[in-house]
Structure 1
């Protein structure tokens, strides 16, 4: 990789002739910044489409959730903490091209209503700056791009290059010229300066993070005072009969759909297991409060199958 490619610049396709430094990035980045922590759009353009799954060097450390230490969980399996990010990367590298189709099939299209509810709760306004973490194929970022307008700005961030490539292509094809695309590790958000964003969102991504406490602290750091965090994530059903039916669906139908549509049943088996291992609504609310967020609340959707958590940096 050339020295020019290591420069922490983000590029909009419409202005690719003149590279600019994003106001949200700390500059300059230290030399040797881990590939999984920072990579910008000009580097994505220069990378071959048949690239191998990137290797990630994530920070190690123990959080207070009981799931971080020398080992952690990958679905129901126990793995070394340092290995989890690579295993998650392999999952999403495998499913990236079919990700949106599978979302529609798995949720019967209801995921669109969940995301719309989350966007309505975000309070996003014209001219604001938004960071969409683990934004993948760009569903939320596309709407935020429209809502903040030409005077606002959106950063679509993901640790997985395959997913970010899909999101980049979708948003550029849709004419979203106020969006930057940055590979970043949610546990550190190192490319981004303190107090940079009015709104930080993470949609169906937090459960894949190894150290969720570190990620929440990083989200708090990059938010401006008065800004808000919005987390949309699978959660715990609050109606016991539904919970049993949901388990049956998750562990039988999902892997079968994955096999038929994405030719990958194992990734969707991991999906079901990762949902079961994710903290429940009250636990996640407590984790947000421990990270410094105030006025935290959550709203159950579809009887708790999904929940939207919200917290503020005052």
Structure 2
């Protein structure tokens, strides 16, 4: 029997997931940032600002922003003078980011199509590695975390922001209804794509809870790991150091 992994609430063959996820993001790329605004009520911008404050990008340091196709995080870090490489497995997402950078007159960014599980990058290259709302879509999360550790310099830092499970009493039920009923319908209305947004909602539910994911980060070799729940744990910032 072949190995399977989750794709939303379905289990699919390991060899299928990367392609299926790629199809999802190819479909949603053009409306991705608009949908983030609509579905989060604009809160994703506040969360991303908070995330970058935690990263503390410094002038001249090298940062790899993985799964950062549309540039939201990279643009913020570049404002601090960091040398940012934006990597994504999906070319359509990168194309959206490149176009946005040109519109804003943002120069100096490096755009690179990469698979988070098999980075074509030398070891000990970057001062920081960031990934925001992307790691749950990776087929083998443990491989992506080990690659993050590999490409970081000694003393480098890992930061990840991902959706999680809310800990607020009573809010979980409301959030579940919103995720499973409202999000797909909004995707249908705004992006003419109900199924992709159904997958995105389901993928959040299949992602490991905060303590388990923190352990996965430690298992990849990171030290001084930390979890910072946001919005009752609906979102969490995970961090660790390569020491």
TM range (shorter): over 0.9
| Match 1:158 to one of 84, 88, 98 | 88
Q: TM-score, normalised by structure 1?
A: 0.76
| Match 2:135 to one of 178, 192, 206 | 206
Q: What secondary structure does 1:237 align onto?
A: coil
Which residue in the other structure is 2:169 paired with? 240
| Match 1:176 to one of 94, 100, 106 | 106
Q: What secondary structure does 2:79 align onto?
A: helix
Whichever structure has more strand as a proportion of its residues is 2
1:143 is the counterpart of 2:76: yes
Please identify runs of 4+ aligned residues in structure 1 that moved more than 3 A.
none
Which residue in the other structure is 1:86 paired with? 19
1:278 is the counterpart of 2:211: no
CA deviations 1:45-82 (Å, max 9, x no partner) are xxxxxxxxxxxxxxxxxxxxxxxx71111000111101
Q: What secondary structure does 1:147 align onto?
A: coil
* Structure 2 stretches lacking a partner, 5+ long: none
Whichever structure has more helix as a proportion of its residues is 2
Which residue in the other structure is 1:228 paired with? 157
- Once residues 150 and 102 of structure 2 are traced to their aligned partners in structure 1, the CA distance between those partners, rounded to angstroms, is 29
Which residue in the other structure is 1:11 paired with? none
- Once residues 103 and 168 of structure 2 are traced to their aligned partners in structure 1, the CA distance between those partners, rounded to angstroms, is 42
- Give how far 1:134 is off: 0.2
Task: Tell me which structure has the larger Cα radius of gyration.
Answer: 1
Q: CA RMSD in A?
A: 0.9
CA deviations 1:189-216 (Å, max 9, x no partner) are 1x21111111100000000001000000
Q: What secondary structure does 2:80 align onto?
A: helix
Q: TM-score, normalised by structure 2?
A: 0.98
* Structure 1 stretches lacking a partner, 5+ long: 1-68
